[in-house]
Amino acid sequence: MITVKLPANAPVDWEDWETPLKQFTEATGLVTSAFDTDGMRRIGPRTASRLGGLLAGSRLWAEDGPGTALERALVRAVCADGKAASDQFGGLRVCALPLLLRGEVYGVLVFGWRFADFSSPLECERIAREIGVPGHLLWNEVRLDAPVSEKRMETYSALLGTLSRTLDRQRETIDDLTRVNRTRELFLATVSHEMRTPLSALSMRIELLLRTVPDLPPKVASGLEAMRVHVRQEAGMVEDLIDAARTLTGQMSIARSPIMLGQVVRDAISTVETAAHAKNIRLLVTPSDCGEHIRLEADGRRLQQVIWNLLFNAVKFTPEGGVIRIMIERLDGMVAIDIADSGQGIEPEDLPHVFGAFTLQEHGNATGLGLGLYIARRIVELHTGTLSVSSAGRGQGATFAIRLPVAGE
């Protein structure tokens, strides 16, 4: 026996059925309705013929009408075993199909109210008395209404069944997407609390030991320094995971305010200078004021994150003694920030995948999760800008180009 209950977290939006049932009714001339599992009519009765209009004006489908009673009996039968059912009301055939979501009945479609063959005046008179309309009026409509044979009713049932399964599969897909989004949100909350918090505590204890404990043995001090570097790397990957999760769920946002580009660029450069000097890499900025007088309406912290990420990658993949150029220019209401390195370059077939999530370089000292460029592009897009990459190939370096609108233009 099929369980008659709506799957958890999947409320029925009966409006999804309004248009399909209207189209089915107009195409077939049948009377159609949709019921929930409690026997409440949610849609209908929908009519598209003169006979259907006459029946709708009678007491047939009143709350205590005989048609309503018959339809509810069909609904109970379908809910009991999850299978189609049918019945007759004085020669008028009525059918019912289950609406299923993951094997569970959440509603019933009831349709029909047509004769299978030509009726007689006496039969119409009997039906008319029961539903409270003049017998001759019902007969006039019935004799002008083409019967629906058993074969054609089976075809209509198959058509409505196909439509039902299609819409229910869509609902299942939406339900799956909703569950995935909830899982992502849970993942984001878990990463934020269960991973970031202990890493912060560990980092604080390492800093405390290095600053407050005098005369640490060289090996201990060296070990603590190495731990500090690794903890920072892990914390950076956790932050990337959080940002990536926010991007995937549409939760990443920016807080715009008036900023001067020069300060953002200088702050980003300062975070990579030590690593660049360690590899004897020159950082050349044009103009030398880092675009000091260019004003943006942007999230300064997020924009610095983008530039820092591009510079960090440039340092990581540029060999010792190389050059990284940061070029800033105003172009037709936009500011262009190009970061070009003399590093290992990118193969042409790899260029389309550079900004994908979890994309790592296969050569060189590839570390991290491969999320930095994915997040950087999303941040730039939130600023209604673009981030692109170009490279002449292996060993020819790469250029990352940021384009952002200038404030007031």
Could you say which of 223, 248, 273 is where a domain stops? Answer: 248
pLDDT reported for residue 248: 67
Whether the Cβ atoms of residue 17 and residue 34 lie closer than 8 Å to each other = yes
Identify each DSSP E strand in 25-123 by its residue range: 31-36, 41-46, 85-89, 92-101, 104-115
Q: What angle do CA 89, 93, 97 make, to 5 degrees?
A: 115
Q: Does residue 109 fall inside a structural domain?
A: yes
Could you say which of 248, 276, 295 is where a domain stops? Answer: 248
pLDDT reported for residue 360: 58
Could you say which of 248, 267, 287 is where a domain stops? Answer: 248
Q: In tens digits, what is the pLDDT along the chain, a chain of 409 residues?
A: 334 444 444 467 788 888 888 989 998 899 999 999 999 999 999 999 999 999 999 999 999 999 999 999 999 999 999 899 999 998 899 999 999 877 889 899 999 999 888 778 888 899 999 999 998 898 888 888 888 888 888 899 888 888 888 877 777 777 777 777 777 667 766 766 677 777 888 888 888 888 888 888 888 888 888 888 778 767 777 777 777 767 766 777 888 999 999 999 998 998 889 889 999 999 999 999 998 889 999 999 899 989 999 999 999 999 999 999 999 999 888 999 999 999 999 999 988 888 886 665 554 445 556 778 888 999 999 999 999 999 988 889 999 999 999 876 5
Tell me: do 270 and 400 sit in the same domain: yes
The label of the residue with tokens 């339900």 reads 175
Q: Does residue 111 fall inside a structural domain?
A: yes
pLDDT reported for residue 1: 38
Domain count of the fold of the chain: 3
Q: Does residue 154 fall inside a structural domain?
A: no
pLDDT reported for residue 286: 94
Q: What are phi and psi of 395, to 5 degrees?
A: 80, 5
pLDDT reported for residue 207: 86
Tell me: do 110 and 139 sit in the same domain: yes
393, two tokens:
């190939």
pLDDT reported for residue 188: 66
Q: Does residue 29 fall inside a structural domain?
A: yes
Tell me: do 393 and 300 sit in the same domain: yes
Q: What are phi and psi of 307, to 5 degrees?
A: -65, -40
Whether the Cβ atoms of residue 297 and residue 258 lie closer than 8 Å to each other = yes
Task: Please give the Cα distance from 369 to 373 (Å, whole number).
Answer: 10
pLDDT reported for residue 147: 85
Q: Does residue 51 fall inside a structural domain?
A: yes
Tell me: do 99 and 54 sit in the same domain: yes
Tell me: do 57 and 197 sit in the same domain: no
Whether the Cβ atoms of residue 404 and residue 337 lie closer than 8 Å to each other = yes
Q: Does residue 6 fall inside a structural domain?
A: no
Tell me: do 237 and 268 sit in the same domain: no
Give, rounded to a whole angstrom, the gap between the first and last alpha carbons of the chain.
67
Q: Does residue 223 fall inside a structural domain?
A: yes
Tell me: do 322 and 350 sit in the same domain: yes
Q: What is the CATH number of the domain that holds 347?
A: 3.30.565.10
Tell me: do 18 and 137 sit in the same domain: yes
Q: What is the CATH number of the domain that holds 141?
A: 3.30.450
Tell me: do 263 and 318 sit in the same domain: yes
pLDDT reported for residue 35: 95
Q: What are phi and psi of 284, to 5 degrees?
A: -110, 125
The whole domain housing 366 covers 257-405
Tell me: do 58 and 100 sit in the same domain: yes
Tell me: do 204 and 302 sit in the same domain: no
Tell me: do 195 and 95 sit in the same domain: no
Q: Does residue 153 fall inside a structural domain?
A: no
pLDDT reported for residue 249: 64
Q: What angle do CA 255, 256, 262 make, to 5 degrees?
A: 120
